[in-house]
Amino acid sequence: MLLKHWAPLSLWLVLLSLSLVNSNILNPLTTTANNEEPYTRDFYSVPTTVKTYENDTVLLPCDYKSSYRSVRWLRDEDLLMEAPYMEEISLNRYHLLSNGSLLVMDVRTEDTGRYYCEMLTPSEKAVQAHAIEVQYAPKVYVTPNGFIELPVGAVLEIICETEGVPQPAVSWSYNNETVIDYLVGNRQTHIVEIKSRNMSGSIECVAQNGVGQPVAEGVELLVLFAPEIRSPQKIYYSKVGGRVQMDCYVESAPLAKVRWYHTGKLIAMGPYYTRQDVEMPLNNTGASTRYFSDMRHSLILKNVRESDMGMYECRAENAHGVRSNYMELTFRPMPCTFKISPDMQSPTSHTLVWQTESFSPVIEFKLKFRQVPSETTVSFTTLASRPEWTELTIPSDISIGPIYTTTYTLYGLYPASIYQVVVLARNHYGWSDSSKILRFATGGEVEFPNYSTESDSGISGTTDEDLNNAADGGDHDDMEITSNDITENSIVAEKDKTLYSSMYAFASSSSAAAAASTASPALSARSYNDLRLNWCIIINCFVIIIVHKCHIKQNLPN
């Protein structure tokens, strides 16, 4: 009874299964991915993933164990080609072999994907899957790119996108030096804060994945800044009818416009004034690119007139600022320089030699000197006054050329003492700037430096303004010089100097003061005061000696 009822049902199930089989044969694209696994046992070949490179040739096997009616190949879901049994066909870069295998020639990056071989028989469809992975060198896309101009203080954001198989590793470089290394991800961002003009250069995103060479793409950053001016010379010396070329060097980005001014008035170029603007060559640092303009701007006076004397201004201007540099054109003498005298020096005198250059005749010199207080003077008395400059006017000798060499001897100096001296020269157009301070020592036991040539730094704690005031006869009460003012090239006397040698030094100083009062009237008042002071100290020394001897006699045994 049960078999009687189940017979129609079983017949219906058989018909349904046949209809499903027929539908699969007619519409294979909809079931390829879902039915590939049950049929792989029907192939001699096995599923394969081929990793290859561009322009290579790849063979995808499809060796079916039984006979088949036709074969078809698909990439992902796209039909590539179909052929009857044992028939070879070629289509573009694809070649179907007689055994059903597929030959892909001249592989490209777009060939990456999954490939399906479908064997069609009258009763079924067998599917085997393969894959091609085309490995290729990375590609880089940077935004923004090319030349970028930004001022100091701006912020630059650079976006780098990469592609490649395998996935590239990303790094950032600045002027070919790595600053950030090994970032993973197809999109990277780099933010640059422009803090100085020296940040100009190439900023690159570098990608590499082991295939081919690393690839870089980036920007050329040009930092914009206000002009920067330098002048090799602040004072130019000349004469009527002479030729003068004033130079100022300007670095800027973008290029600055330069104008010349004389005593505040814009100079019009013409027969009296001409200019030259020359780009400076690259330095020898090995850099092949300069990201700013470096110009030498020259103002040329071919026939100098007296009215051309005065201050000149080199003014540079661009969109980011204005800068100026000032120079002076003068007919005054150049500052004097001291030379070492070849003459023998005595304890109470010293011979000075100096030299200057002037295109107009030098009329006279102004010599200023003063004694530096010694440690002995400071230790024996607290009444030592601040040193004052003694000024002498010395007529100039006749010179054939512009070079003036003068020799002068100072008399009535204290033995074993340190002196400072400066000198100025005057011609028809005025006084020169003060020379640098010269320090020298007279003969005898000296507790400070012996002979010193021209000092570049002057006296410790003394500014250039003080020295100029000293040379110009200003008030020097604020220029107190202590025993620590001269520290270089020191020659220190013996520490166990006896009291008698100290007395001898003061006695010599007294004799020198007396000689100074007769030899130089300009020193008489000062020497007289120093003489009285020294004699008082000598009397004190005698008292100390007498007391000391009495003390020795009392301690002697009877």
Q: Three-state SS for 358?
A: coil
Count of the separate structural domains present in the chain: 4
For the ranges 75-84, 174-183, 255-264, the maximum mean pLDDT occurs at 255-264
Cβ 360 vs Cβ 406: under 8 Å: no
- Segments forming the whole domain that contains residue 220: 136-225
- Give yes or no for residue 91 having a pLDDT over 60: yes
Considering the domain boundaries, does residue 512 fall inside one? no
Residue 29 is predicted with a pLDDT of 29
% pLDDT > 90, the chain:
57
Distance CA 30, CA 53 (A): 31
Distance of CA 412 to the CA centre of its chain: 55
H-run or E-run covering 507? helix 499-519
**Which domain-ending residue is among 112, 134, 156?**
134
Same domain? For 126 and 140 the reply is no
Same domain? For 296 and 320 the reply is yes
Chain segment 329-347, per-residue pLDDT in tens: 999 999 999 998 887 788 8
Same domain? For 61 and 91 the reply is yes
Residue 373 is predicted with a pLDDT of 80
- Give yes or no for residue 356 having a pLDDT over 50: yes
**Which domain-ending residue is among 80, 101, 134?**
134
Considering the domain boundaries, does residue 38 fall inside one? no
Considering the domain boundaries, does residue 27 fall inside one? no
By C-alpha distance, which of 412, 462, 398 is closest to 434?
Answer: 462
Distance CA 12, CA 18 (A): 10
Same domain? For 52 and 146 the reply is no
Exposed e or buried b per residue across 408-424, where buried means at least 16 C-beta atoms within 10 angstroms of its C-beta: bebebbbbbbbbbbbbb
Same domain? For 207 and 187 the reply is yes
Chain segment 482-506, per-residue pLDDT in tens: 323 332 332 222 223 333 333 333 3
Considering the domain boundaries, does residue 449 fall inside one? no
- Give yes or no for residue 231 having a pLDDT over 80: yes
Considering the domain boundaries, does residue 206 fall inside one? yes
Q: What is the CA angle 128-131-137, rounded to 5? A: 170
Where on the phi/psi map is residue 2: left (φ > 0), alpha (ψ -120 to 50), or beta?
Answer: alpha
Average pLDDT of the segment spanning 270-289: 82
Same domain? For 344 and 324 the reply is no
Chain segment 395-433, per-residue pLDDT in tens: 998 888 999 999 999 999 999 899 999 999 999 999 999
The CATH number for 140's domain is 2.60.40.10
Exposed e or buried b per residue across 463-475, where buried means at least 16 C-beta atoms within 10 angstroms of its C-beta: eeebbebbbeeee
Considering the domain boundaries, does residue 22 fall inside one? no
Same domain? For 194 and 152 the reply is yes
**Which domain-ending residue is among 105, 134, 163?**
134
- Give yes or no for residue 234 having a pLDDT over 70: yes
Considering the domain boundaries, does residue 77 fall inside one? yes
Same domain? For 320 and 237 the reply is yes
Residue 49 is predicted with a pLDDT of 93
Same domain? For 356 and 264 the reply is no
By C-alpha distance, which of 269, 219, 277, 215 is closest to 252?
Answer: 277
Could you tell me the end-to-end alpha-carbon distance of the chain, in angstroms, rounded to an integer?
A: 168
Same domain? For 170 and 117 the reply is no
Confidence at 443, pLDDT banded by 50, 70, 90: confident
Same domain? For 89 and 129 the reply is yes
Say whether the peptide bond before residue 38 is cis (omega within 30 degrees of 0): no
Choice among 213-227, 268-282, 513-527 with the minimum mean pLDDT:
513-527
Average pLDDT of the segment spanning 180-203: 93
User: What's at 486, amino acid-wise?
Assistant: I
Distance of CA 428 to the CA centre of its chain: 46
Considering the domain boundaries, does residue 380 fall inside one? no
Where on the phi/psi map is residue 399: left (φ > 0), alpha (ψ -120 to 50), or beta?
Answer: beta
- Give yes or no for residue 173 having a pLDDT over 50: yes
Same domain? For 344 and 438 the reply is yes
Chain segment 108-135, per-residue pLDDT in tens: 989 999 999 999 988 889 999 999 999 9
Confidence at 290, pLDDT banded by 50, 70, 90: confident
Chain segment 450-489, per-residue pLDDT in tens: 333 444 433 333 334 444 443 343 333 333 333 233 323 3
